[in-house]
Amino acid sequence: MNWLYLVGIILFLLGLMVSIALHEIGHLVPAKLFGVKVTQYMVGFGSTAWSRRRGETEYGIKWIPFGGYIRMIGMLPPRPGDDPNKLRNTATGPWQGLIESARDAAQEEVRPGDEDRVFYRKKWWQKIIIMSGGPLMNFVLAFVFFSILLVGIGLPAWAPVVSPETSTCVIPVTEQRKTCQAGDRPTPAAQAGLKPGDRMVTFDGHKITTWEDATRLIRSHGPGPVELGVVRDGKPLTLDVTLIAQDRPNLQDPNKIDKNVGFLGVLPTEVMQRQSMGEVVGYMGELTGRVAGSLLNLPDKMVGVWHAAFSGEKRDPEGPVGVVGAGRMGGEILASDLTNEKKIAIFVNLLAGFNLAIGMFNLIPLLPLDGGHIAGGIWEGIKRAYAKIMRRPEPKYVDIAKVLPLTYAIALVMMVMAGLLVYADLVNPLTLTG
């Protein structure tokens, strides 16, 4: 195995663990700020690799780096009318027994003096802030990573600079070859003396700033002589070029052919073009919409993952990918032949996209996700506002324990989905090349 591939996987897992740690800090800080007793802050699952107690909270790292949690006391309210000093009968119904067992487990952590430090007794808006802190931290991380990518590194863009891969002969669009053969005529660019590295700056007096500008001007001009302004080794030059007419692929639809358009015969150079902070917002907004669409279509996407895992079908590039698959992508990035700048850009983009997806997935209004607790807080706020307007007695706390059967069912589905993604990422991984 290429050692860079292994380093890429390790770096991605480290980035994932940092993201998880900050996600949980997003819950931890407001929880402590509002007086909720937090007994554990853990990054990872499984057995504990390292831990240290500070005050009332145990901070630690577990061996399986695929998640994390903080343990807040009193997540579930006691059953109405319960006397904590008396024993009561256990419910015999399977679902009711499950709910009561969960209530008992939640109450066992509450010690004398902790009555006002339990989660369920906090104001509804405090619950929303506590549970929103994790996803919000993921969004902040995504924005930071996207800012580093766009502003600090840049996005790949075609520049109007003659590429070293530019052919010196005219190759018909119907022929799938890149090398010249005997009888091929030279391109107008070769005849005019254009060289790799020349930057095109003007065309027939029109300014060129992007490759799209150059392509549009060349094609629309048609065959005939024209003055082309270039910069070579920092010095401006004017070249006399005679364009020819050629059939070329349509710019919007490569399957279509545009007949007899102007042809110069140069290829652009790919560069990393830095963007403004305003572009970061638009870029992240566009990806957020795409991730939201993927989440809405998640059942269909998972069917595609099933077929890819067990029928060998090609993975959907827009489909879900698990931690194992993303880690393999991290290894693939570092082991590739790309420039170091591109490797960093793709790696940062991968971490940013993963944080964005984690944040949005956690906002789904279903337990055990953060969004389920947020929905409970919102519902409690609506009930209290309605009671206040109608001058009715203040309602009791929203009892999320009542939806525990659905919560366990959803948790089971999530575990099955996670297992399916791991299997698909192992047997039919989604690679950077599709």
What's the pLDDT at 81?
Answer: 57
Given the residues 24, 100, 332, 380, select the one marked as catalytic.
Answer: 24
260 domain-assigned: yes
What's the pLDDT at 107?
Answer: 62
Q: How many CB atoms lie within 10 A of CB 242?
A: 12
402 domain-assigned: no
Residue 221 tokens read as 């001009």
| Closest CA relative to residue 376, chosen from 393, 394, 401 | 401
Sorting pLDDT into bands at 50, 70 and 90, what band is 206? very high
Q: What is the pTM of this model?
A: 0.81
Does residue 227 have an active-site annotation?
Answer: no
Rounded distance between C-alpha atoms, residue 15 and residue 4, angstroms: 16
What's the pLDDT at 251?
Answer: 81
Rounded distance between C-alpha atoms, residue 267 and residue 190, angstroms: 12
Instruction: State the residue range of the domain holding 162.
Output: 158-273
Q: Which DSSP category does 364 fall into?
A: S
Contacts for 354 with CB less than 8 Å, ≥ 6 apart: 16, 19, 326
Please state the rounded mean pLDDT for residues 36-59: 91
| Closest CA relative to residue 167, chosen from 265, 39, 65 | 265
2 domain-assigned: no
Domain count, the chain: 1
Rounded distance between C-alpha atoms, residue 19 and residue 131, angstroms: 16
For residue 137, pLDDT over 90 is answered with yes
Sorting pLDDT into bands at 50, 70 and 90, what band is 27? very high
Q: How many CB atoms lie within 10 A of CB 386?
A: 11
363 domain-assigned: no
For residue 95, pLDDT over 50 is answered with no
What's the pLDDT at 103?
Answer: 57
Q: Say which CATH number the domain at 245 has.
A: 2.30.42.10
For residue 126, pLDDT over 90 is answered with yes
Rounded distance between C-alpha atoms, residue 112 and residue 44, angstroms: 30
For residue 140, pLDDT over 60 is answered with yes
pLDDT in tens, 60-69: 999 887 788 8
Please state the rounded mean pLDDT for residues 370-396: 90
What's the pLDDT at 106?
Answer: 58
How much is the mean pLDDT over the chain?
A: 86
172 domain-assigned: yes
Sorting pLDDT into bands at 50, 70 and 90, what band is 375? very high
171 domain-assigned: yes
For residue 108, pLDDT over 80 is answered with no
Strand positions, DSSP E, 199-352:
199-203, 206-207, 224-232, 235-249, 257-263, 269-273
232 domain-assigned: yes
pLDDT in tens, 155-189: 889 999 999 999 889 888 778 778 888 888 999 99
211 domain-assigned: yes
